[in-house]
Amino acid sequence: MGDYQVTGVQQDVLGAVQLELGGNPNTLALRRPFDPLAHDLEASFRLTRFADLKGRGCKVPQEVLNKLVEGLQQDYNSAAEHEHAHFMHMAIPRIGIGLDCSVTPLRHGGLCLVQTTDFFYPLVDDPYMMGKIACANVLSDLYAMGVTECDNMLMLLGVSTKMTEKERDVVIPLIMRGFKDSALEAGTTVTGGQTVVNPWCTIGGVATTVCQPNEYIVPDNAVVGDVLVLTKPLGTQVAVNAHQWLDLVR
């Protein structure tokens, strides 16, 4: 009888089954890896193939972006000079162009509207995990400004026209569920959004919160010697790309 080789995916599934049968409380937090065949899709299905560029490759370079928004920035600065709100007799500046979030003073009681939006192409082939990653990416812009609570989220989704009806009906609900679950983990909810058809698959959203000026920090005063805190290892995108290349047929 020949040796039975267990793949990495099979090991993950076996681990999930063992936890479930053993009544382990971590079972609810454990999800089995996405298997296209289990959803009646072709074994060759890969979510990352529904985009010509990888992940954040849809982003316009910062130098180009700055030139594109120069006119908007001038109008923005002019309006800001006349529209400062006040908090404890101090002016609340309008913040936006080129930063992680926009900060807009509200008419009521020294409060600010902190808002951000972001989206990108699929980074991984698991639709559920891609939804979670997209949501976490949007929220990370709030966190980058020291805002730890989000009042509301919207989801932005571009459904690739290259997907078959079957692929769409399987993949899109999984992406949405992952996005929603990640939002719930962060203590917020998804109350709407926009879904369109597009040549490429894009996933993202909008995060909004209302806070006082002392609840956010503008990360623009770094000096030599400051400590940088990394929230994940460097080289993640390189590792993801290498994994996807291994799956390509020569």
Shared-domain flag, residues 52 and 101 = yes
| Assigned domain for 229 exists | no
Shared-domain flag, residues 54 and 115 = yes
| Assigned domain for 109 exists | yes
Shared-domain flag, residues 31 and 62 = no
User: pLDDT tens digits, residue range 197-243?
Assistant: 999 999 999 999 999 988 988 877 788 998 888 877 888 778 877 77
| Assigned domain for 157 exists | yes
The confidence score (pLDDT) of residue 213 equals 87
Shared-domain flag, residues 54 and 164 = yes
Task: Report the catalytic residues.
Answer: 58
Phi, psi of 38 (to 5 degrees): -65, -20
Is the pLDDT higher at 221 or at 8?
A: 221
* Maximal C-alpha separation, the chain: 82
How confident is the model over 104-129, as a mean pLDDT? 89
Domains identified in the chain, total number: 2
Residue 187 CB partners (closer than 8 Å, separation 6+): 149, 150
Shared-domain flag, residues 67 and 182 = yes
- Whether 147 and 215 have beta carbons less than 8 Å apart is answered as yes
User: pLDDT tens digits, residue range 163-198?
Assistant: 999 999 999 999 999 999 999 999 999 999 999 999
Q: Residue 35 belongs to what domain range?
A: 7-39
Residue 82 CB partners (closer than 8 Å, separation 6+): none
Q: What is the pTM of this model?
A: 0.75
Mean per-residue pLDDT over the chain, rounded: 79
